Structure 1
Amino acid sequence: MRIGELAVRAGTTPRALRYYEARGLLPARRAGNGHRTYDEGDLKLLRQIRTLRDSGFDLEETRPFVECLRAGHPEGDSCPASLVVYRRKLDELDALIEELGAVRAKVGAQLARAEEARDVLAADAGVPGGPEPVCELGGRRR
């Protein structure tokens, strides 16, 4: 198949395919007329790349999976190098989750503090729901 058909079937663009070819992820086979030609194996490589990219892997992280498929394994994640990338990605995700948990706790504490301060102001003003908002530029909102 030619580059346009492969791009459509893989859900990408010919430009992306040429980029993958330049990066050594997609084989560069040419027909006698100079057109790029691809087969079902190339489509499988692209689907593997797309699945990994959709899961947050950068393009270089897909290389071991592509090489595993090229080596004849039915799945791109059955080789030792692919497993190393999976483990590294999980460690990265765990660190991000931990970082986001800390940020969430901080924002939650700030919200609780702000609500408490609002409630104190409301009680001091004797106004249910809090005092009337004051514009930072000096006047009351209307």
Structure 2
Amino acid sequence: MSHCRRVGPNNKDIVIFASKEDHQIPSKVKLPEPDPQPGLILPNGDINWNCPCLGGMATGPCGVEFRNAFSCFHYSEAEPKGSDCYDLFKTMQGCMQKYPTLYNKDLADDDELNNIDKATVNLKTESEGSKADGGTSNK
């Protein structure tokens, strides 16, 4: 059988002593259902910067750079999507290179940067080529 005792200065704390039998009785407390998590994109189309799927990227030392680049990509109407955000992603990557212990060390690899540069040049060239021939090129 359980019982309570007031302790501490001015008897402000209550200590509840429960017996083994008390612990064997199932709890009658009903917890409310947890609120559904909204995910990365909120119902209004905005980015949910608190989404655990971002892995804390929005709040780390390069959080501002990440948010700028990710926002640019999310709202980009360029073809291909995000091709107008290259400079922001490069700035973000430069920031991440300053914190190799926090961010993937592979990002600091110069070869990776060169590959990104080449891919961007190819995207720009393809985009300009498709505009020159009226957008009829087959890729």
TM class by shorter chain equals: 0.3 to 0.5
Q: Greater share of helix residues, 1 or 2?
A: 1
TM-score (structure 1 length as normaliser): 0.34
Q: Which has the higher strand share?
A: 2
